[in-house]
Amino acid sequence: MKPPHLADVGLYLKPTLVNNVESYACVPYILRYGGEAFKSLGTQDGGGTKLICLTGHVKNRGLYEVNLGTPLQEILYSEEYGGGSSTGRPLKFIHFGGQSGPIGSVDQLEDCIYSYDGMWDEGLSVGSGAIVVMDDSVSIIDYLTQVAAFFAHESCGKCTPCRIGTLRILEMLEKFQQGMGMPGDIERFHAMLTHVTQLSACGLGQSASTAIFSAMQAFPEEFEQVIDTKAEKVQEVMW
Ligand code: SF4
């Protein structure tokens, strides 16, 4: 129950700030060199630095502090950061900001700047700073099935669109994995994702479709491939 608020009465009954550790980690630099100096490390729209967690098929996986405004290609390929593909295969897609974040195609992001506005311009987001990179051996459908399994597992079950919807999303992707999609399934899938996004009560359900929507835009051909066109006749009978 509020009040009292933490800013008035918190830890040891003293005024208390609850903030991200990453934000606190910026404070010593700002106190030592000043706010303007910190800001100048980044871009106009977002000053300073960002912690990124670079994982997947890059040589140098790890946690890095990058200046906002660093070119994405530098993060992926320079020896200072990712160092390029760890498998020798071309890098294919990137999942930004954790499970709730969007997916982009490496080929389509050649000029992308890693900053809040730069990512936004590409329809992407910085989010938590997680950057998962996958090479071209990974099917987008397989990857998204794992993402959907996470949301189905994490749904608390309080509201129906998320409790049932995340399961239906997972089932549909598993069907696609087996190449058993039917004509019209992509449209039905799209409607299902929209419903879960718009009708869920909290951020978990509302962001369960973000990776899928963005992947459908970046790799439409991979969704078309999972539709069994011969299934048309069966569908007509079923409907
Ligand atoms: S949207 Fe949020 S409240 Fe609703 S079931 Fe999912 S996790 Fe629970």
pLDDT tens digits along 78-104: 999 999 999 999 999 999 999 999 999
The torsion angles phi and psi of 233, rounded to 5 degrees, stand at: -65, -45
For residue 89, the model assigns a pLDDT of 98
For residue 239, the model assigns a pLDDT of 44
Q: What is the pTM of this model?
A: 0.88
What atom of ligand 1 comes closest to residue 156's alpha carbon? 8
Write the DSSP assignment of 93-111 as a string of letters: EEEESSTTS-EEETGGGTT
Distance 168 CA to ligand 1 centre (A): 15
Helix axes 140-154, 210-218, angle to 10 degrees: 170
Distance 156 CA to ligand 1 centre (A): 5
Q: Which of 150, 154, 158, 167 to mutate to test the pocket of ligand 1 (most atoms within 8 A of CB)?
A: 158
Q: Does domain 140-238 have CATH number 1.20.1440.230?
A: yes
* Residue 224 contacts residue 216 (beta carbons within 8 Å): no
d(CA 22, CA 96): 17
Pocket of ligand 1 (CB under 6 A): 155-159, 162-163, 200-202, 204-205
Q: Are strands 49-56 and 91-96 parallel, antiparallel or unpaired?
A: unpaired
Residues 6 or more apart in contact with residue 159 via CB below 8 angstroms? 199, 200, 201, 202, 205
State which residues of the chain have pLDDT below 50. 237-239
Distance 105 CA to ligand 1 centre (A): 29
Q: Which of 100, 155, 193, 197 to mutate to test the pocket of ligand 1 (most atoms within 8 A of CB)?
A: 155
At position 38, the amino acid (one-letter code) is F
93 burial level (CB within 10 Å; 0-12, 13-18, 19+): buried
Distance 154 CA to ligand 1 centre (A): 9
d(CA 65, CA 6): 30
Residues 6 or more apart in contact with residue 174 via CB below 8 angstroms? 145
d(CA 42, CA 46): 6
The torsion angles phi and psi of 72, rounded to 5 degrees, stand at: -60, -40
- Assigned fold of 49-135: Ubiquitin-like (UB roll) (3.10.20)
Tell me which residue of 65, 61, 1 sits closest to 29, measured CA to CA.
65
Tell me which residue of 100, 154, 94, 93 sits closest to 127, measured CA to CA.
100
Lookup: tokens for 175: 């069907």
Q: Which of 99, 150, 156 to mutate to test the pocket of ligand 1 (most atoms within 8 A of CB)?
A: 156
Helix axes 210-218, 185-199, angle to 10 degrees: 140
For residue 237, the model assigns a pLDDT of 47
d(CA 170, CA 104): 21
Peptide bond connecting 220 to the previous residue in cis, omega within 30 degrees of 0: no
The domain segmentation of the chain, as residue ranges, is: 49-135, 140-238
Distance 205 CA to ligand 1 centre (A): 6
Distance 203 CA to ligand 1 centre (A): 8
For residue 30, the model assigns a pLDDT of 96
